[in-house]
Chain A
Amino acid sequence: MAELDEIIHQPLRLRIMAALNALPAGTGLEFVRLKKLTGATDGNLGAHIETLARAGYVTVDKAFVGKKPQTTVTLAAPGRAAFVRHVAGLQEIIAGAAVKPSDP
């Protein structure tokens, strides 16, 4: 029985992970792009990215492009694996199995 990942299960974090998972490995999304795609506010998005980074699911790179700071978020290998497991868990529920979220 597949398990749901409590860190990923939170709706905004699920959207962040889904957006990053749609990109090829090693390719990230800029913070502003991610904000637009997920419909989150600056503070909310920042907090959830931090949670995902603490879990080792994403990496955060900060750089200056010209004089503007640019934050890029990339899905890490453990994050991609966790996301795949989480989606499998959701599909199991749809198929009829009861699944309990795992502890973070």
Chain B
Amino acid sequence: MIDRLEAARALDDIENITRRVRQSQIYRLSSLLMILWGALVVLGNLVTYLTPIYADKAWLSVYVLGIAGSVVLGATEKARWGMGSFDVRSLLAFVMFFAFGFFVERIGHFGPREMGAFWPIYFMLFYCLAGLWFGIAFTIFGLSVIALTLIGYVFIGAAFPLWMAVVNGVGLILGGLWMRRS
């Protein structure tokens, strides 16, 4: 015979493992998105550093390719795992995210250096918030990139885009690979 305590323990075990499986699916999709955005951010920063006159076009391309790639990855993972990973709401969330960012950028009259710091910090704010629901890994990663971005903004001179290519771009790629193993 099995008593209530043992049954409750078994149900807790089931709930716990189900939550971990779902978390691992979220980590998996997030890791792919981070690697994609990381590679694009590296390219954006390199173009900004090497040929500043093309910086605007480069970043516009980064955003368009990033959103398109995110939609494709989300749809692929949804088909594979049956998880509600990307839909119209997610696309609208992206649009609102960038619209708010551009709004702040305009009313703040940000120069290239400020924009170079603002976007990663703004991006990472959502990683920090995501950590409250989906696992501490997101928050740790977000806070680390924010801290390194601020260090670069204050202490690194003309090579700031290169610093950001490493901190934000390579950071996203490494973070994605780490999250894949989590």
- A positions within 8 Å CB-CB of B: 4, 9, 11, 14-15, 18-19, 21-24, 27, 29, 33, 37-38, 87, 90-91, 93-94, 96, 98-101
Interface: B57 (CB within 8 A): no
Identify A18's interface contact among B2, B13, B80, CB under 8 A: B13
Question: What residue in chain A is nearest B19 (Cβ atoms)?
Answer: A22
**Is the beta-carbon distance between A93 and B2 smaller than 8 angstroms?**
yes
Q: Collect the chain A residues with CB atoms within 8 Å of residue B82's CB.
A: 23-24, 27
Q: Collect the chain A residues with CB atoms within 8 Å of residue B7's CB.
A: 90-91, 93-94, 99
- From B3, B4, B80, name the one whose CB has the most chain A CB atoms within 10 angstroms: B4
**Is the beta-carbon distance between B18 and A22 smaller than 8 angstroms?**
yes
Q: Collect the chain B residues with CB atoms within 8 Å of residue A37's CB.
A: 17, 20-21, 24
Interface: B22 (CB within 8 A): yes
**Is the beta-carbon distance between B13 and A98 smaller than 8 angstroms?**
no
Interface: B53 (CB within 8 A): no
Alpha-carbon separation in the docked complex, A33 to B23 (Å) = 13
**Is the beta-carbon distance between A18 and B1 smaller than 8 angstroms?**
no
Q: Collect the chain B residues with CB atoms within 8 Å of residue A15's CB.
A: 13-14, 17
Task: Kindly identify, within residues 11 to 31 of chain B, every residue whose CB is under 8 Å from any CB belonging to chain A.
Answer: 11, 13-14, 17-18, 20-22, 24
Identify A19's interface contact among B4, B11, B21, B80, CB under 8 A: B21
Report A46 CB to chain B, min CB distance, Å. Answer: 18
Q: Collect the chain A residues with CB atoms within 8 Å of residue B13's CB.
A: 11, 14-15, 18
**Is the beta-carbon distance between B10 and A22 smaller than 8 angstroms?**
no
Alpha-carbon separation in the docked complex, A23 to B81 (Å) = 7
Report B178 CB to chain A, min CB distance, Å. Answer: 14
**Is the beta-carbon distance between B17 and A38 smaller than 8 angstroms?**
yes
**Is the beta-carbon distance between B14 and A87 smaller than 8 angstroms?**
yes
Identify B11's interface contact among A90, A96, A99, A101, CB under 8 A: A90
Interface: B64 (CB within 8 A): no
Q: Collect the chain B residues with CB atoms within 8 Å of residue A90's CB.
A: 7, 10-11
Report A50 CB to chain B, min CB distance, Å. Answer: 20
**Is the beta-carbon distance between A98 and B1 smaller than 8 angstroms?**
yes
As a 0/1 sequence over residues 77 to 107 of chain B, the CB contacts with chain A under 8 angstroms (1 = contact) are 0001110000000000000000000000000
Q: Collect the chain A residues with CB atoms within 8 Å of residue B80's CB.
A: 27
Contact (A27, B21) CB under 8 Å given A14-B14, A94-B7, A99-B2 = no
